[in-house]
Structure 1
């Protein structure tokens, strides 16, 4: 049978249709009388039309001159109705389906959302269509932004990955939509996009997919189960506090290599939960920071080349399993920070690159859109839909997974147009400079959105330059981050500690210089994964000297880090002096805890964390009022001495760190107040495998001027060690 020949039917047959609802499904019949039904099932032999709520036969469809295209009509006046299709295919299989092209209302009605919650309307959304009191059709509404596409189809397990079966519809706003009945949780799918030039592109994963399979399919997976019942109410409703005056000791970890099974397979989220939560509680950390857990195709990128910002990586389990991990950490009063990568994305064919045949997500010019250092693609921060996509993603993790903090990766690469580029390889901004105004605006809007809507959450910038005001509020013309990694402190202090102690006297400024700018930003002191990989060696291998000196150096450095103003971050393994350089392909060397030196470093890390939480003078680290130099210029002895002071009280402590193997029997330092000082931590104690250098544990001040102060004490200072003393107006037991 021949049916009306029109452009839409031709587009259906050639998989170029942008308006399948204009010709498929129920339409007005010829001469606008009655109804007609057109169905496109390219592998069908025959089709019968059944009532929606019974097996009543409404019509046997007639094949047309186009194989796979079927037609039926009701020539007399007939009210619209809902129906099912009983289809017999060429392989003699038979299925009854609900035709998606009878539900324009479900396809084109966007769920309510704000720009910061686009994930509630795009991607794959479970949808229910109530036809009557007794009949509800449930399925999945797919929506994808691809404004330059000629046509888009949903392909998946439910249509044998055949791009002819489910063409999507566009109403001119750039979003392609289709509601497909009976596609439920766990269905695998992608989008088949024909570019405006006519080519069918490699199947794309859903940019908003909440689950994506691993290699080789990289299929998106519908994700509607919400089995996890959150038990962290006490955490998420806790009073909003000034986090700048609270201790923050962060345990940074890569989930795939923290611990592994005997067969070298990584732990699941559930297995990690059972082992990680009690460990970080015992060790005294306040937060964990997870290397990126958004989906990524290449293990060796550690997550920093993500394809699937809305999907928890399926390497270790389901989204519900990951929620349970976060929940358990919260119930143990441990905050959860995730590394978040809005700076760039890889060029994998199933991802965002050239998504609809045009540069929808990236800058078109490679001088702005290609990242030469990481061979990746840079988001176009000047496009509203890109900014909304990223900010919605940040909100998604905070709201749906109760994440507490976002550590934003590679901020410097976003701020500067000439980052990792030579002259002539970058495009100046409108004023001829190298600042990316669009990225700056994006970062400010991101931080405003987070802090306005989630006051218990915070953001951290990995930013390695002197860009002003990274952690200043946007109303002060800052970027609005809560914290900034102190890369200057990290680089200077690591350069110093690597040197043989005999040469350190010439580099005292490497340690003291950090206090020149320590309060310009809200800093985190990071010893991160980047410092123990790519040939840099583990922390213990950076230390000079024989075995005892190596561990003594590491202990002194650890104490110095905890005594210095700023929040703390240590990568996994640092706490017990991991031996080998970190590799994402194997577990940490937990067996080292059977040896004295490593076991002692582990104990010191634990004690430092608990001391840091308990000692109020170490918390006031965002103001110069909480710090006072005593001696920063004793380069001959490589000794630093400074006071840490609590806010709004006389409570304070004295930190003394000796970076040489020479002990000092009578070393006088000036102190802020008369009274008594007692050592509460000494890294040279024998329990830490120190020398056990004999010293007095408590000191009464003397009216002897030293370091410009009227009161002083005379200390015994052990070799390669850090000590913390607390003050009291009365004798301390």
Structure 2
């Protein structure tokens, strides 16, 4: 090579190249560093700015490498052959060290992976990208790979190389835009980032790994090498049967949990529970309470506690706030062994602007849109994924599949779907760009959601997906091949808004808003609905559920109990946020725990007992769940008695399932001898009465059962005159005994 130092005329290294090495400016470091043949000889070139001397150890022999005169840290010298070798360095203080040379190892990514990555159709990118502890060419270490197609140079920086981006620049793999390197000796627990020289030659802020499996504890921002292989699952029984537990005709009652504030360890700095602690305490509680599923607010690593996880940075990393990945698996495994499904909130709708995240990842708008009219959420100060870029869509779809496969997650609840579906979401005229047809629908986001659902349902049998979608977008829970988005379920935000508005009113005014409680039935079967009383309803000044209720304290509790009875008797799966089941007075605070001390009081413990009994009755009574998504499972008996604020309806399951009659009285007046039609004659058991003494009520009702009379009422051939306590819901089940 020309321009070699005069002292070393045969050295295959020019001053220009040596200076590029020392400056970290090599676009193709593997073409220069490591072993290479030149002039019939094998030469080893390496860079270590902390060394004053360097040699190659090969088969017990030491072969000195020459320091490149005038360029500190660059060494090059001949070795007898291309056998594996170690590098031995010495610094100015006389200290020595030995390590493998990363540049003597060949690529790890195979041709098929390379092809699929380039095409943007690699469904399991986490198996290729990220940091993988492995043995490569007989040596233990970690393989790093990251997508940065517009970068001039990408390096792994970590403790191993003193966070110096000149030390370990990566190899670019063809047209994939993926950079990779195998770093020998780096293993579990190593902390790292990527240093990137951007498209315009600018040095970027160091970036966390988009496909990293672990991270430092916030506010620290580096990724952490985590070996996620080799977990011994013990949930085989659940996994083979969960399809039935997630089906439309299954009883689904979800306990929504923010793990950081469900329960705190007060004698240990008020810290949140670890995953392993939650595997016992939370799982036992959810099972005792009769919930069928636990839904976690996002657990993907996030920098800001106040975002509750809804502004994630590490989509492939369970937050380290509660422990490492295997311990998160312990929590899932424990839930499954208890017969409880686990749903994760998943956030493909936006991501934060933190400099260590995805924003301007390789110096360009790589994951986001360049135009803020498409790529920036004004409400949340966050960025929007470019769903139309195949690699970005593939990144998100693969992430969904990752949680389902690697962590045995049973379902994904997709946050803020409405913000994805509409280009003008929360934007004024001139602040958004229409689609190709001039409309507001985001075709690219729609296609990404459809593809996500299609792939997840096909690849992982038995799972469920649910959309938090607050508009009337058609077909959210209809199959993709029928033109729908392909979700299994949709949160019924309209039902939630209408019924909460009604129940928060003074009873004297309710007759003027009577049909807020009936309107939901008009569209109850247009989607597969979940009825959500979520975290969003008890935060940011909205008050707790008990605080929303009108009246004096006793009336507040009666109202809440009646409302929960109404909810569990209404068509639709159920979801209740933590703390709502004990009627805590304070609204949710993510920095503290649920007010468990409230359960020392009879009224709070009564609401907790009611939710438990509602769950168990619901699960044991097919008429209350089997046709949640079918109009044949519901019939009004009384929908128009606004003067008395009374509602009554029938719930039905299969032909052999006992029918259920649900009756609500939303006034503080007892309704005596109130006649209600019943679909069949005989004895009907008062299976649940929210005014029962064990729930904190007055114990008024029908002495446990009623006997129908052959008297037409409410379109039925039989009826009974009932006592309906004030502010109560009664659930009758046909007694076939």
TM range (shorter): over 0.9
**Structure 2 counterpart of 1:396:** 402
**Structure 2 counterpart of 1:22:** 31
Q: Are the aligned partners of 2:701 and 2:724 in contact in 1 as well (CA < 8 Å)? A: no
Shift of 1:127: 3.0
1:148 aligns with 2:150: yes
140-149 or 104-113: bigger deviation: 104-113
**Structure 2 counterpart of 1:80:** 82
376-385 or 102-111: bigger deviation: 102-111
CA distance in 2, matches of 1:230, 1:106: 28
**Structure 1 counterpart of 2:635:** 628
**Structure 2 counterpart of 1:191:** 194
1:170 aligns with 2:191: no
Q: Are the aligned partners of 1:670 and 1:710 in contact in 2 as well (CA < 8 Å)? A: yes
1:428 aligns with 2:434: yes
Shift of 1:214: 2.2
**Structure 2 counterpart of 1:159:** 161
CA distance in 2, matches of 1:239, 1:198: 52
Q: Are the aligned partners of 2:22 and 2:72 in contact in 1 as well (CA < 8 Å)? A: no
The one of 218, 237, 248 equivalent to 2:221 is 218
1:467 aligns with 2:498: no
Shift of 1:694: 4.7
CA distance in 2, matches of 1:145, 1:293: 23
CA distance in 1, matches of 2:697, 2:142: 64
User: What SS is found at the alignment partner of 1:236?
Assistant: helix
CA distance in 2, matches of 1:498, 1:446: 38
Q: Are the aligned partners of 2:199 and 2:363 in contact in 1 as well (CA < 8 Å)? A: yes
**Structure 2 counterpart of 1:40:** 47
User: What SS is found at the alignment partner of 2:156?
Assistant: strand
557-566 or 713-722: bigger deviation: 713-722
CA distance in 2, matches of 1:268, 1:370: 35
1:256 aligns with 2:265: no
1:286 aligns with 2:288: no
Q: Are the aligned partners of 1:228 and 1:324 in contact in 2 as well (CA < 8 Å)? A: no
CA distance in 1, matches of 2:622, 2:372: 51
The one of 659, 663, 667 equivalent to 2:666 is 659
186-195 or 103-112: bigger deviation: 103-112
Q: Are the aligned partners of 1:21 and 1:104 in contact in 2 as well (CA < 8 Å)? A: no
Taking only aligned residues, the RMSD between alpha carbons, in angstroms, comes to 1.6
1:688 aligns with 2:695: yes
Q: How many residues align?
A: 718
Shift of 1:126: 2.3
**Structure 1 counterpart of 2:654:** 647
**Structure 2 counterpart of 1:232:** 235
**Structure 1 counterpart of 2:484:** 478
Q: Are the aligned partners of 1:107 and 1:179 in contact in 2 as well (CA < 8 Å)? A: no
CA distance in 2, matches of 1:211, 1:644: 47
What per-residue deviation string (whole Å, max 9, x for no partner) do you get for residues 52-80 of structure 1? xx432234434433111111125xxx542
**Structure 1 counterpart of 2:4:** none
CA distance in 2, matches of 1:226, 1:600: 45
CA distance in 2, matches of 1:302, 1:68: 46
Shift of 1:712: 1.4
CA distance in 1, matches of 2:243, 2:305: 37
CA distance in 2, matches of 1:79, 1:577: 76
Query: For the structure 1 residues 500 and 560, does the alpha-carbon distance in structure 2 shift closer, same or farther, using more than 3 Å as the test?
Result: same
Shift of 1:650: 5.7
Shift of 1:229: 1.7
1:406 aligns with 2:408: no
CA distance in 2, matches of 1:139, 1:196: 30
CA distance in 2, matches of 1:645, 1:60: 84
CA distance in 2, matches of 1:42, 1:273: 48
Q: Extract unaligned runs of 5+ from structure 2.
A: 1-6
CA distance in 2, matches of 1:152, 1:644: 61
The one of 104, 107, 112 equivalent to 2:106 is 104
User: What SS is found at the alignment partner of 1:362?
Assistant: coil
What per-residue deviation string (whole Å, max 9, x for no partner) do you get for residues 562-586 of structure 1? 0000000000001110111100000
**Structure 2 counterpart of 1:699:** 706
CA distance in 2, matches of 1:264, 1:710: 60
CA distance in 2, matches of 1:573, 1:690: 20
User: What SS is found at the alignment partner of 2:163?
Assistant: coil
CA distance in 2, matches of 1:108, 1:617: 54
1:586 aligns with 2:583: no
Q: Are the aligned partners of 1:226 and 1:320 in contact in 2 as well (CA < 8 Å)? A: no
**Structure 2 counterpart of 1:133:** none
What per-residue deviation string (whole Å, max 9, x for no partner) do you get for residues 288-334 of structure 1? 00000000000000000000000000011111111001100000000
Q: Are the aligned partners of 2:341 and 2:410 in contact in 1 as well (CA < 8 Å)? A: yes
Query: For the structure 1 residues 342 and 225, does the alpha-carbon distance in structure 2 shift closer, same or farther, using more than 3 Å as the test?
Result: closer
Shift of 1:627: 0.4
**Structure 2 counterpart of 1:723:** 730
User: What SS is found at the alignment partner of 1:58?
Assistant: strand
User: What SS is found at the alignment partner of 1:35?
Assistant: strand
CA distance in 2, matches of 1:494, 1:312: 34
What per-residue deviation string (whole Å, max 9, x for no partner) do you get for residues 402-424 of structure 1? 10000000000000000010111
CA distance in 2, matches of 1:651, 1:115: 49
User: What SS is found at the alignment partner of 2:531?
Assistant: strand
Alignment of 1:366-381 (within 5 A): 366-381=372-387
CA distance in 2, matches of 1:155, 1:211: 16
Query: For the structure 1 residues 65 and 6, does the alpha-carbon distance in structure 2 shift closer, same or farther, using more than 3 Å as the test?
Result: closer
CA distance in 2, matches of 1:714, 1:458: 43
Shift of 1:671: 1.9
Q: Are the aligned partners of 1:194 and 1:356 in contact in 2 as well (CA < 8 Å)? A: yes
Q: Are the aligned partners of 1:129 and 1:137 in contact in 2 as well (CA < 8 Å)? A: yes
Q: Are the aligned partners of 1:666 and 1:714 in contact in 2 as well (CA < 8 Å)? A: yes
Shift of 1:629: 0.4
What per-residue deviation string (whole Å, max 9, x for no partner) do you get for residues 434-483 of structure 1? 00000000000000011101121010000000000000000110000000
CA distance in 2, matches of 1:60, 1:435: 63
**Structure 2 counterpart of 1:65:** 70
289-298 or 254-263: bigger deviation: 254-263
Shift of 1:110: 7.5
Shift of 1:108: 6.9
CA distance in 1, matches of 2:695, 2:376: 49
What per-residue deviation string (whole Å, max 9, x for no partner) do you get for residues 573-618 of structure 1? 0111011110000011100111111011111111101001101110
TM-score computed with the length of structure 2 as normaliser: 0.95
The one of 331, 334, 338 equivalent to 1:328 is 334
Q: Are the aligned partners of 2:47 and 2:73 in contact in 1 as well (CA < 8 Å)? A: yes
**Structure 1 counterpart of 2:141:** 139
34-43 or 375-384: bigger deviation: 34-43
Shift of 1:9: 3.7
Shift of 1:228: 3.7
**Structure 2 counterpart of 1:247:** 251
Query: For the structure 1 residues 166 and 108, does the alpha-carbon distance in structure 2 shift closer, same or farther, using more than 3 Å as the test?
Result: farther
User: What SS is found at the alignment partner of 2:594?
Assistant: coil
CA distance in 1, matches of 2:472, 2:228: 45
187-196 or 700-709: bigger deviation: 700-709
Q: Are the aligned partners of 2:413 and 2:467 in contact in 1 as well (CA < 8 Å)? A: yes
Q: Are the aligned partners of 2:686 and 2:702 in contact in 1 as well (CA < 8 Å)? A: no
Q: Are the aligned partners of 1:363 and 1:369 in contact in 2 as well (CA < 8 Å)? A: yes
Q: Extract unaligned runs of 5+ from structure 1.
A: 131-135
**Structure 1 counterpart of 2:282:** 276
**Structure 2 counterpart of 1:182:** 185
CA distance in 1, matches of 2:190, 2:149: 25
CA distance in 2, matches of 1:586, 1:693: 37
1:544 aligns with 2:550: yes
1:441 aligns with 2:447: yes
User: What SS is found at the alignment partner of 1:315?
Assistant: helix
Shift of 1:703: 2.1
Query: For the structure 1 residues 362 and 452, does the alpha-carbon distance in structure 2 shift closer, same or farther, using more than 3 Å as the test?
Result: same
**Structure 1 counterpart of 2:720:** 713
650-659 or 688-697: bigger deviation: 688-697
CA distance in 1, matches of 2:636, 2:228: 56
